[in-house]
């Protein structure tokens, strides 16, 4: 990190302390001047640059109008054809429902293994109950039985 960057970071920390009410502005500026002199920032950057960096750190923050957020949202919505109707009195646009394509069902290998295990137990009632819990896999399981 360069000397100006280090000093700007120190100024920002002091500004934060002032904004939080932990340190008076005069004390913070005096601390920064002492730091600038003892750390060699004055020698490296010059007193004018040190003063300029401190001045920037303690410059007043631009106040935003109280309705800034609402105005910003309104501008965004007016720019978006999907939301423009909220401000213009137009009817809301008809949403184009995207076709939801359900991927084809694929029986997992673990389901096939479980089917063979339950079938190997030789308990028809348990096998029937297990099959009722796997209706989407019934066709594939039937094909497995036919292939065997």
**Tens of pLDDT, residues 57-95:** 999 888 888 888 999 999 999 999 889 999 998 888 887
Name the helix (H) or strand (E) containing 32. helix 25-38
CB contact at 8 A, 7 and 53: yes
In the predicted structure, residue 15 carries a pLDDT above the cut 90: yes
What predicted TM-score, i.e. pTM, was given to this entire model?
A: 0.44
Identify the pLDDT of residue 96.
65
Instruction: Give per-residue burial for 62-80: e unless 16+ CB within 10 Å, then b.
Output: eeeeeeeeeeeeeeebeee
Dihedral through CA 113, CA 116, CA 120, CA 126, nearest 10? 100
Instruction: State residue 97's pLDDT score.
Output: 61
Compute how many other C-beta atoms are within 10 angstroms of the C-beta atom of residue 53.
Answer: 19
Q: Which pLDDT score is estimated for 65? A: 86
């Amino acid at each position: 990190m360069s000397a100006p960057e280090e000093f700007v970071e120190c100024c920002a920390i002091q500004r934060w302390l002032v904004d939080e009410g932990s340190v008076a502005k005069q004390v913070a500026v005096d601390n920064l001047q002492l730091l600038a002199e003892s750390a060699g920032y004055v020698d490296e950057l010059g007193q004018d640059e040190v003063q300029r960096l401190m001045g920037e750190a303690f410059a007043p923050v631009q106040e935003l109008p109280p309705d800034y957020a609402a105005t910003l949202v309104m501008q965004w919505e007016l720019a978006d054809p999907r939301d423009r109707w909220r401000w213009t009195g137009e009817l809301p646009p008809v949403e184009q429902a995207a076709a939801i394509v359900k991927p084809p069902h694929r029986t997992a290998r673990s389901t096939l293994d479980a089917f063979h295990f339950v079938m190997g137990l030789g308990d028809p009632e348990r096998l029937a109950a297990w099959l009722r819990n796997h209706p989407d896999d019934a066709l594939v399981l039937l094909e497995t039985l036919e292939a065997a």
